[in-house]
Structure 1
Amino acid sequence: MNDVRHVLVLPDRESAEEAAAELVERFGLHESPRPVRDALAGEDDAEDAQWLVPVEDAEERLEVEQLNAFAAEWDGWREEP
C-alpha cells in the first residue's frame, strides 16, 4: 500500500470545511478529510491561521492538476511535497 497524501492549504476554517465535504462528492473519497488549523510561526491570532486539508490517496487516483484547480476555487493551493 502506498502512502500518498496531498495537502490542500486554505485561508479559513469555513473554506476548509466546505472543501473537505466537496472532496467526497467530487472525487469519490471514502470519507471526508478532517481540516487542521496551521497557525503561522510566532502568530497567536487565529486570523493568521491557515487551514490544511490532508487528502489520503493510497490508490494514487487523484490528479494533481484537478486538486490544484479544486483548491484554487477556495483561494487556496495544493502544497508540493
Structure 2
Amino acid sequence: MNENDEAPDLHARQLLVLPDRDAADEAAQELAERRPALGRLDVVRDALAGEDDAEDAQWLVVVEAPEDGWTGELLLELEALAAEYEGWREEG
C-alpha cells in the first residue's frame, strides 16, 4: 500500500452487483446458505442513471459487515460468488 491508498473499511457494507434479478436471488440464497452468520441479505434493483427501462437495471445483493468486520478471505469469497453470476463486488 502506498501513502495515497486508503485502508479498506472492514465494516463497510458490501454490494454484489448482478445483471438480473434471478442472478441476484440465486446469489443471495447461496450466500445465505454458506454464511448464515451474515444475517439478512437484501436484494434491490438499481436503475442506471437516466434509464427508465427495466432492462437497463442492475440488481444488488446488499451484505452488511459481520460484527468482527470483513476478512480478506470473506471479501474474496464475495468477489468469487459475484463473478459466478457475471457480476462484481463493490463497497457501498
TM range (shorter): 0.7 to 0.9
TM-score normalised by the chain length of structure 1: 0.84
Backbone CA RMSD of aligned residues:
1.9
Which of 1 and 2 has greater Rg? 2
Please state if 1:26 is matched with 2:37.
Answer: no
Please state if 1:72 is matched with 2:83.
Answer: yes
Paired residue secondary structure (1:29): helix
How many pairs align? 80
Aligned-residue sequence identity (percent) comes to 57
Q: Runs of 4+ in structure 1 displaced over 6 angstroms?
A: none
- Structure 1: which 5+ runs fail to align? none
Aligned to 1:17: 25
Q: Structure 1 residues 69, 37: closer, same or farther in 2, change over 3 A?
A: same
Worse overlay, 57-66 or 7-16: 57-66
- Structure 2: which 5+ runs fail to align? 1-9
Please state if 1:39 is matched with 2:50.
Answer: no
